[in-house]
Amino acid sequence: MEVDKGKGEAEETRKVAEADRDTVTLKSSDGKLFEVSKEAAARLSTVLAGMIAGGSIDDNGTDLKQIGSEALENVVDYCNKHANSIPSAALISSSISFNTAPFKEPEEWERKFVDRLSHDALFDLVEAANFLGMERLLDVTCHKISEMMKGKSPDQIREVFNIKNDYTKEELEEIRQELAWAFYDD
């Protein structure tokens, strides 16, 4: 009996542990902890999937030193929302490099998700997505950023992205001259 009971307890603890492992705890650079479902994490992030498969997930919070808490919150938020939405098969299968994978237009909720972000938050998020290998999130955020660039003059782009112009005046003039057709609208 004792043995049996002990066995039962052991099973229970294992169950608890398994239940624990349904979620992954992620730790941001500033030490905040976030939980995300393991299934969503593995599906959406190639990096997390690799860590889960490789067993390098720390129950006390996997350290993601490169990602700030705000960005990580958005990532987790995205994962949760994504788990609620209907995952499309094409999305999952397309796990090629983000540079080359065929891009699918962001869905409505994804659009709203990125639209509410400030520029800084968006940039942080895209970096986090890049770091975690989240193809779809990267798609969506990059799409958003590219929309911010479209139809803008270099000056406007510099303003939006806070770029310091390191061209000399002559160089700029040269570029404008060569690419006159691309600068028609400013």
Partner 1 sequence: MRVGAGPSPTMPYTTDSWLSRRRGHLADGTVLPDDVLAAVFVRLTDAADVLRCAATCKRWCRVVAKDAAIHARLLPPELARRRAFFGVFSQQALPDPVPGVADAAYHRKRKRVSGSSSVGHISSPCGLIPASAAAYWLFGFRSPYSIPLSNGGRHSALLEHSRPVAARTGWVVLSFLDLCVFNPMTGEIFMLPSLSGEARPRCYACALLTRDDVDEPLPTSTTVFFRVLIIYNRYRFTAFRAFSSETSRWGTEVARSAHPKIDNSVVLRGVAYWPLRHSALAVWLDGPEPCEITMPPWGIPADQPQSLRLLGQQKLCFIDVLPPAGLPCRTIFLLTSVLSTVDGQDTNMLKWVMLHGRLYIPEMMVCSSDDFKLRWFCEKSGVILFTIGEETTHKIQKVVDGTGCSSWRNCGSWRNVVGYEMDAAGYLASLWGDAMAGADAVNSVRGVELGRMRWQRSDADARERMWWPAWVDVTVAGGVELRVGRRSRAQMRGGGRSSGRAMSHVEEETHLWVVALGQLCPRTAAAATWPARGDDPGRPANPSAVMSRPPAHAPDPLYRPIAHCTSRFAMARGHAIMASRAPPLAAGAHVVQSLSAAGFPPTTRQGPLLRIFAHPRNDPPRPTPPHALFELGGASMALPAPFRLALSSSSLQTITNTLPFSFSSRSLPPSSTSGRVEQSSSSRAANRNPPTLDGNQSFSPPLGHFHRKLHLHVEPYTPVIPVAAKLHDELRLRPVNLTRLSAPRLDPRSWLSTSPEQAAPLLTVDEPCRFATVLETYPKRLAVSPSSFSPTSPASVRLASEPRDLVQGALADGTYNLIPANEEEAPEGGADVIVIDPESGAGVAQEGKPRSIT
Token pair listed for 81: 């929302």
Q: Helix 119-132 crosses helix 69-84 at what angle (to 10 degrees)?
A: 70
Least Å distance between CB 128 and partner 1? 10
- Answer whether 69's CB lies under 8 Å from 158's CB: no
Residue from the set 33, 96, 115, 116 that interacts with partner 1 by CB under 8 A = 96
Give the footprint of partner 1 on residues 105-144 (CB under 8 A).
123, 126-127, 130, 138, 142-143
Cα–Cα distance between 179 and 73 in angstroms, integer?
42
CA distance 133 to 48: 8
Phi (first) and psi of residue 10, to 5 degrees:
-60, -40
Binding letters toward partner 1, positions 9-28, x by CB under 8 A:
--------------------
Q: Tell me the closest approach of the beta carbon of residue 69 to partner 1, in angstroms.
A: 17
CB of 104 to partner 1, least distance (A): 12
Binding stretches for partner 1 (CB under 8 A): 96-103, 123, 126-127, 130, 138, 142-143, 145-146, 149-154, 157-158, 161-167, 169-184
